[in-house]
Amino acid sequence: MDLSQHEWAEKALADTNGVILDVRTEEEWEDGIIPNAVHNDIYKGQGFVYRLDEFDKTKNFYVYCKAGGRSAQACAIMKELGFANVFNLEGGIMNWDGEIVEPEM
C-alpha cells in the first residue's frame, strides 16, 4: 500500500510492531537513512529474498528507496512472500522532510 510522506511517517514512527526497511544500494544507504531503518538492497536479487526470509512476517514493514519505485517493487515481492502489512513511502527519501541520520557501520 502506498502512503503519502505524512501518513507513512505518522504510522512508521508510532508503530511498536513496525520495521523501517531501506531497499536502496549500499552507496545510497551510506548517504543517510531514516532513523532505525534496516538495510536490504533490492538489487541483490535472490540475496534480497534470502534476507527477507530472516524477517518476522507478522510485523508491519515501512519500505522506502530513493524515489518510491524500487520500494513499490519490494512491497509487491514481500506481499507475494506472505508479508501481511507492507507500506511504500511515496516519493521515497528524496521527498522525506523528516530526520535523516548516518547509518551505523
pTM of the entire structure?
Answer: 0.96
Give the model's pLDDT for residue 78: 98
Q: How far is CA 57 from the centre of its chain?
A: 14
Give the model's pLDDT for residue 39: 97
Q: What does DSSP assign to residue 85? A: E
Q: Tell me if 39 sits within 8 A of 29, measured CB to CB.
A: yes
Encode the chain (105 residues) as per-residue pLDDT tens digits: 999 999 999 999 999 999 999 999 999 999 999 999 999 999 999 999 999 999 999 999 999 999 999 999 999 999 999 999 999 999 999 999 999 999 986
Q: Which residues pair with 48 in a beta bridge?
A: none
Q: What does DSSP assign to residue 93? A: G
Q: Could you give all domains of the chain from N- to C-terminal order, each with its CATH number?
A: 2-95 (3.40.250.10)
- Residues with active-site annotation: 65
Give the model's pLDDT for residue 42: 98
Quickly count helices (H) and strands (E) in the chain. 4, 5
Task: Kindly list the strands in the beta sheet with 38-39, ordered across the sheet, starting from the edge strand earlier in the chain.
Answer: 2-3, 85-89, 60-64, 18-22, 38-39
Degrees to nearest 5, angle at CA 20 with 4 and 80: 85
